[in-house]
């Protein structure tokens, strides 16, 4: 991350891959092969009877895709997705354009997978909403990891807190490249004043997976801390999220206070 100084036709479409051209240009439904429906029912029954541990990652994808592609064999599509992206988590967080490159994946199927991602993020946010964040640090890290760990470019976010350290707002301040995001310390602090925030926590991700802070990360953090102190706003921390790991600049003694 680096710091910057502000310088001021027809009615039918193949939305989910449900239709394919038929005779004389008509649309015909692509049906699942024999046995596919029975397979789905067995997977559903296993999920409901034995819980999530009873179904494999590709089977979870099958069930999600079936909601968008009720007439297609989602088993093969799910296996193609796992083979291409390597894991369930990588599939769910993959860019829409990459997902649509997989055979059988249309906009409806992509939207179904994105809905799963949004649901996971909303659930993680609910675990930290209206609670003192400093007293729920593990849940906060789970939330930030869910939001940022698999992003392919840097995202810089600021959590603005009230006098009881409860979340007032979680705002995206910038998106950058694979190794840097422009950050404007004055804008970070100005927004805190607008929200009547008493404190803030900065967070950004390192797409490389290594959360080790750079020299620019440290310098920018200290500049924000100084600007915040001048207006009686507390910078509690700057957290860097990697892949399966995170670093707190406060715990590393790098806030400069």
What are the pLDDT tens digits along the chain (257 aa)? 655 544 444 333 343 333 333 443 333 334 455 566 788 888 889 989 988 889 999 999 999 999 999 888 899 999 999 999 999 999 999 999 999 999 999 999 999 999 999 999 999 888 888 888 988 899 999 999 999 998 888 999 999 999 999 999 999 988 876 666 778 888 999 999 999 999 999 999 999 999 999 999 999 999 999 999 999 999 999 999 998 899 999 999 999 76
Contact assessment for residue 175 and residue 155, using Cβ atoms and an 8 Å cutoff: yes
Same domain, 211 and 157: yes
pTM for the model stands at: 0.73
Pick from 224, 214, 204, 205: nearest CA to 252: 214
Same domain, 61 and 139: no
The tally of domains found in the chain comes to: 2
- Compute the distance between CA of residue 204 and CA of residue 94 in angstroms, rounded to an integer: 19
Domain limits at 67? Answer: 25-122
38: which 2 tokens?
């029975």
pLDDT of residue 92: 93
Q: How many CB atoms lie within 10 A of CB 253?
A: 9
- Compute the distance between CA of residue 161 and CA of residue 159 in angstroms, rounded to an integer: 6
Given 100, 122, 144, the domain boundary residue is 122
- Compute the distance between CA of residue 68 and CA of residue 112 in angstroms, rounded to an integer: 6
Same domain, 140 and 110: no
154: which 2 tokens?
């840097």
């Amino acid at each position: 991350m680096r710091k910057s100084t502000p310088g001021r036709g027809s009615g039918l479409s193949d939305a989910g891959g449900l239709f394919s051209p038929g005779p004389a240009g008509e649309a015909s439904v692509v049906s699942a092969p024999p046995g596919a429906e029975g397979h789905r029912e067995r997977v559903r029954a296993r999920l409901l009877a034995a819980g999530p541990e009873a179904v494999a990652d590709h089977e979870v994808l099958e069930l999600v895709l079936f909601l968008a592609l009720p007439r297609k064999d989602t088993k093969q599509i799910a296996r193609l997705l796992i083979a291409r992206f390597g894991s369930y988590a990588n599939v769910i967080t993959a860019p829409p354009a990459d997902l649509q490159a997989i055979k059988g994946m249309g906009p409806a199927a992509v939207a179904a997978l994105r809905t799963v991602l949004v649901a996971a993020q909303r659930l993680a946010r609910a675990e930290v909403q209206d609670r003192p964040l400093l007293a729920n640090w593990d849940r906060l890290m789970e939330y930030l990891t869910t939001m940022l760990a698999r992003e392919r470019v840097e995202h810089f976010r600021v959590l603005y807190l009230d006098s009881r350290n409860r979340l007032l707002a979680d705002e995206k301040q910038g998106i950058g490249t694979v190794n840097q995001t422009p950050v404007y310390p004055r804008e970070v602090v100005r927004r805190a004043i607008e929200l009547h925030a008493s404190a803030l926590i900065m967070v950004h991700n390192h797409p490389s997976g290594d959360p080790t802070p750079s020299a620019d990360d440290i310098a920018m953090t200290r500049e924000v801390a100084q600007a915040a102190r001048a207006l009686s706003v507390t910078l509690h921390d700057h957290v860097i999220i990697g892949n399966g790991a995170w670093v707190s600049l406060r715990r590393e003694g790098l806030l400069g206070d």
